[in-house]
Amino acid sequence: MKPKRFDLLIFDWDGTLMDSAGVIAACIQAACADMNLPIPGREEARHVIGLGLREALAHLFPDLPEARHPALADHYRRHFLGQDHEIPLFEGARELIAQLHGDGFQLAVATGKARRGLDRAFSHTGLERYFHASRTADETFSKPHPAMIEELLDELRVAPERALMIGDTTHDLEMARNAGVDSLAAGYGAHPAEGLGELGALKVCSSFGELADWLREHA
């Protein structure tokens, strides 16, 4: 077995391991309709995936009074939580995570979800046992601030040059760059692949299968 290039693999969740970007965008649009707000287009709604919920709402509606943010967030949660247990992992994701864990990598999650949302996803998928640590947007700074990665590096005692961030949004890749770690882009997720290619990722993968193959061969 050839030497590992990385000791720690940090995964985003939505749009990277779970095929949830379309559902999240639709729930954002539905919540806006509930509040009689302008409904963002599909690409605009997908752009805020990966941010913390507060940051996402502020990006979509910079002029919306903060007093209305909790109601909009509640509408979003109602739509999403009604179906989150049905959202599948990408085909092969379960097997890849189990294999990487068995191969001795430390694994972590850095996500724009809240802790409660990630815990639900862990419970529904049964993947929690494979991850050594995780950070959510309600525990620290939202992406693209480097805090999630920096805290994971500190907790797991890994040097930046021995860690890899894997994500499907520009927020993920900018966070990796801000933290001084390499990144691998999931070009099949929330953000267009061409935008991801401009942020210095080691590779932009066009499918989950291609991403899994790259990790098995190069990580």
pTM check: above 0.85: yes
For the chain, give the percent of residues with pLDDT over 70. Answer: 100
d(CA 48, CA 35): 18
Domain residue limits, the chain: 8-19+88-218, 21-85
Which candidate, 97, 108, 95, places its Cα nearest to that of 181?
A: 108
CA distances from 78 to 31, 48, 74 (A): 9, 18, 6
DSSP string computed for 46-114: HHTBTB-HHHHHHHH-TTS-GGGHHHHHHHHHHHHHTTGGGPPBPTTHHHHHHHHHHTT-EEEEEESS-
What is the layout of strands, in order, in the sheet containing 8-11?
133-136, 106-111, 8-11, 163-167, 182-186, 204-205
Q: Looking at residue 1, what is its pLDDT?
A: 61
CATH number of 8-19+88-218: 3.40.50.1000
Instruction: Select from 3.40.50, 1.10.1740, 1.10.730, 1.10.150 the CATH code of 21-85.
Output: 1.10.150
Q: Looking at residue 108, what is its pLDDT?
A: 98
At 16-46, the pLDDT tens digits run 999 999 999 999 999 999 999 999 999 999 9
At 143-160, the pLDDT tens digits run 999 999 999 999 999 999
In the predicted model, is pLDDT for residue 102 greater than 70?
A: yes
At 75-88, the pLDDT tens digits run 999 999 888 889 99
At 123-139, the pLDDT tens digits run 999 999 999 999 999 99
Joined together, the tokens standing for residue 204 give 């932009």
d(CA 34, CA 32): 5
